[in-house]
Amino acid sequence: MRGLIEKDLRLTLTRKQTILIFAVMAVFMSMSIEGTFIIGYLTMLAAIIAVGTISYDEFDNGFAFLMTLPFDRKTYVREKYLFSLMMAAAAWLIGTLLYFISSLIRRSPADPSELPMLLAFIPVLYMSVTVMIPLQLKYGSEKSRVVLFLIFGIIAVLVFGVSGITGGSSDAFAGPVQTLDRLSPAVVLLFLTAVCVLASIASYIASVRIMEKKEF
């Protein structure tokens, strides 16, 4: 497992120029855009980069070589979820630091009590990983993008369909939102974490089945 994590870190660092550009953009955005956008931006970006290491493994029949090494396919899949979580958590930490620093520079320091809600970025955005990894393993980097766009398109159609049925009213969504607003940040964080854990387990099981059926 540790060797796979080191491999993915080295693969990620081969794109250091791109990462540097994103880092500079992040600093500028944290200074120019108020709010927590920078935290979500960096966390999501890191998750996408982490999942993208699968395409490096696929390149030039790389899976055929990797599977000759002393680890099984379950370990490979498990490492991808762990590496994505590590990358997302590290990016969240950097984004949070930039958020608090930019707040101090603007002389409107952020309230430390916001931390539970800021932590919620990790489980919310990590759920995108639970969708991307099985798609990437099943369809490859190019086809998975198309499938992902189709999924988001279907979700958008369903949302607009519900709005149309309710006459354009937001009442269909207002109830759940108001319920979450009434809960304490710690309870919301625990709820989102629980949902993320369940989604991760289901995604992991699907990814293992996909990986075990692959032929190299």
**pLDDT of 56:** 83
Q: Give residue 141's pLDDT.
A: 63
Whole-Å CA distances, 93 to 67, 86, 88, 120, 176:
34, 11, 9, 12, 29
pLDDT at 54: 87
Both tokens assigned to 208: 């293992």
Rounded distance between C-alpha atoms, residue 177 and residue 182, angstroms: 9
Per-residue pLDDT of the chain (216 residues; tens, 9 = 90+): 788 898 888 888 887 777 788 778 877 777 777 778 888 888 888 888 888 888 888 877 777 788 888 888 899 999 999 999 999 999 999 988 888 888 887 777 666 677 778 888 899 889 989 988 998 888 876 665 666 566 656 656 655 565 555 555 445 445 555 565 666 778 888 988 999 999 999 999 999 999 988 876
Show me where the domains of the chain are located: 2-213
The reported pLDDT for the residue numbered 170 is 46
Q: Residue 98: which of 56, 40, 12, 143 has the closest Cα?
A: 40
Q: What is the mean pLDDT of the chain?
A: 79
